[in-house]
């Protein structure tokens, strides 16, 4: 790891007792990948030369490592999932045990290193800003009925 441990991350891990061991295991893996530890958006965030690379999170049913440009990763092991159906950049891996994390430790390190290379190359996620949505007929009718709506 580059730099000291972050006190706020320590507090985050302690606060989430139900996933403490899993978060510590993930934190240890990230430490081996030469990232700096920070605390952003009320969660552990790991950066390379100031660029956000991965985050750790404790959720109701799982702990996770999130790759902020995960959609650009090759995902050769097919372990990444989008956090929501409309997610375009972030991909994460969910865990419910330390054993699951330990089993994928080598893969996670390789994904983190690939994510660092993506940052070093300056790659960006392409967001389709001109995406056309199909509007429900009821809404279109209201637009016709109420001028200026």
Q: Give pTM, 2 decimals.
A: 0.83
As a whole-number percent, the residues of the chain with pLDDT over 90 amount to 74
Q: Is 119 helix (H, G, I), strand (E, B) or coil?
A: helix
Q: Average pLDDT of 22-47?
A: 96
Which helix H or strand E contains 71, and what residues bound it? none
| 130 pLDDT higher than 60 | no
pLDDT bin (cut points 50, 70, 90) of residue 144 is: confident
Domain ranges of the chain: 7-145
In the CATH hierarchy, which top-level class contains the domain 7-145? alpha beta
């Amino acid at each position: 790891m580059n730099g000291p441990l972050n006190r706020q991350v320590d507090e985050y891990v302690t606060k989430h007792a139900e996933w403490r061991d899993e978060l510590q295991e993930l934190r240890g893996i990230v430490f081996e990948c030469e990232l700096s530890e920070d605390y952003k958006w009320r969660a552990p965030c790991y950066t390379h030369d100031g660029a956000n690379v991965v985050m750790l999170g404790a959720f109701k049913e799982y702990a996770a490592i999130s790759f902020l440009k995960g959609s650009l990763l090759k995902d050769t092991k097919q372990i990444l999932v989008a956090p929501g159906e409309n997610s375009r950049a972030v991909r994460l891996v969910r865990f419910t045990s330390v054993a699951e994390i330990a089993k994928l430790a080598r893969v996670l390190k390789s994904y983190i290193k690939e994510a660092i290379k993506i940052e070093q190359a300056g790659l960006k996620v392409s967001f389709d800003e001109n995406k056309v949505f199909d509007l429900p007929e009821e809404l279109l009718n209201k637009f016709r009925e109420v001028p200026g709506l």
